[in-house]
Amino acid sequence: MTTIYLIRHAEAEGNLYRIVQGHRDSTLTDRGWRQVRALEKRFDGVRVDAVYSSDLYRARATATAVSKPRGLPILGVQDLREIRVGEWEELTFGEIARRDPVMLENFGKHMELWHVPGAERPADVLDRAWKFLNRVAVEHDGQTVALVSHGYILRLLLSKIEGMTLEETGSVPHGDNTAVSLLEYDGGRFRLVYRDDNSHLLTPEYLAQETTKKRKNALETGLWFQEIPSDSPLVAEAAGRADAGISLAAYQRDELAGLVQLGPELGRIATLYLREDFRHQGLGVQLIGQAVVRTRKRGGTRIYADAPPEYAPFFRSCGFAPRQIPDTGNPGWEKDIRFPEL
């Protein structure tokens, strides 16, 4: 018999910023790294003989929770990668909802109907992952294996094991980040012992570290962004900088919600602004997400902002550390956006 743990990766930037990840790489959030530590404690004392992972960073980073304490290598494989989403890659879910709300609904609820240019079809994703899962089960007879993958692909695999069709799978939600499922393979068949267990994230020890409310997941509609000229009335309303390198208006559905301005200095967030009726909804972090993505594309390794003390809770919740501004001594905030070495 082969024992197999299926693990969803920890919270990644795309989950938090509501940006489609697919095959694009992203690192983990601060919450994601806390989830990795909780996952490591969950597996303390559990025998594991081999660790396989999607070759994408967010999955490999999560796999370290199991591999490092045992001195095992992480065997990265493309067959465990998330579904390739073609022209949706790196779009916000808010942008996709604006362009094609029907296909966005199909992505989650009617998988058999979903397809966009350049993307894999869910049935093909299931086929590649299913073949790999069976190969691992046969090759590791008598052993225990951990496989770290992604929400969409694990949803497909687990539903197939439970005997569901692709049409039926759309009614099943995916598990939480770092949720664990346990399989047993014997006599050519899989048995599902349990599915999408996240009890390691419900312990008093873990919950005590949660200083902010968990935000909505990336499948829910968020903001979309449009570049605007720096002399736009919105820039003046937000007390933004006329010399900004880039100005992005943020919209929720058809309503103007706010503004984020970058530069002209690489990595500097010049303006963050949400209109009053859009505040306290967890939307501000999506403005930060645009700063991260666009700064990385320009080769930047950090983002930073000047802000008064009353903004400290927000910046801390987004993973920023205090930064003293040269010359003035005023408060500021800085975030390293590099991928930590594994």
Three-state secondary structure string covering 227-268: EECCCCHHHHHCCCCCCCCEEEEEEECCEEEEEEEECCCCCE
Name the most confidently modeled range: 52-61, 240-249, 270-279: 52-61
Q: Whole-angstrom Cα distance, residue 258 to residue 278?
A: 8
Residue 280 has what DSSP assignment? S
In a domain, 272, yes or no: yes
Which of 181, 207, 233 represents a domain boundary (last residue)?
207
pLDDT of residue 329: 62
Range from 11-25, 202-216, 218-232 carrying the lowest mean pLDDT: 202-216
pLDDT tens for 168-190 read: 999 998 899 999 999 999 999 99
In a domain, 183, yes or no: yes
Query: Mean of the per-residue pLDDT values for the chain?
Result: 92
Do residues 137 and 190 make contact, with C-beta atoms less than 8 angstroms apart?
yes
Q: Which residues of 234-265 are buried (b: 16+ CB within 10 A; e: fewer)?
A: bbeebebbeebbbbbbbbbeeeebbbbbbbee
Residue 92 bridge partners (DSSP): 19
Kindly tell me if the per-residue pLDDT of 218 is higher than 50. no
Residue 338 has what DSSP assignment? S
Structure token digits, residue 30: 């601060």
Domain count, the chain: 2
Tell me the residue range of the domain where 165 lies.
Answer: 2-207
Q: Whole-angstrom Cα distance, residue 68 to residue 40?
A: 9
pLDDT of residue 219: 45
Q: Are residues 329 and 227 in the same domain?
A: yes
Kindly tell me if the per-residue pLDDT of 213 is higher than 90. no
What integer is the mean pLDDT of 140-165?
Answer: 97
Q: Are residues 160 and 266 in the same domain?
A: no
What integer is the mean pLDDT of 300-321?
Answer: 90
Q: Tally Cβ neighbours within 10 Å of residue 229.
A: 9
Q: Are residues 242 and 192 in the same domain?
A: no
pLDDT of residue 217: 46
pTM for the whole thing?
A: 0.93
What type of residue is 110? H
Supply φ then ψ for residue 62, to 5 degrees.
-70, -40
Q: Are residues 183 and 312 in the same domain?
A: no
Q: Are residues 168 and 195 in the same domain?
A: yes
Q: Are residues 255 and 199 in the same domain?
A: no
Element containing residue 37 per DSSP (H, E): helix 30-42
In a domain, 142, yes or no: yes
**Residue the block writes with tokens 């009335």:** 233
In a domain, 104, yes or no: yes
The CATH number assigned to the domain holding 9 equals 3.40.50.1240
Kindly tell me if the per-residue pLDDT of 325 is higher than 80. no
In a domain, 216, yes or no: no
In a domain, 230, yes or no: yes
Q: Are residues 105 and 252 in the same domain?
A: no
What integer is the mean pLDDT of 233-252?
Answer: 91
The CATH number assigned to the domain holding 237 equals 3.40.630.30
pLDDT tens for 44-99 read: 999 999 999 999 999 999 999 999 999 999 999 999 999 999 999 999 999 999 99
pLDDT of residue 200: 97
Q: Are residues 125 and 34 in the same domain?
A: yes
What integer is the mean pLDDT of 239-245?
Answer: 88
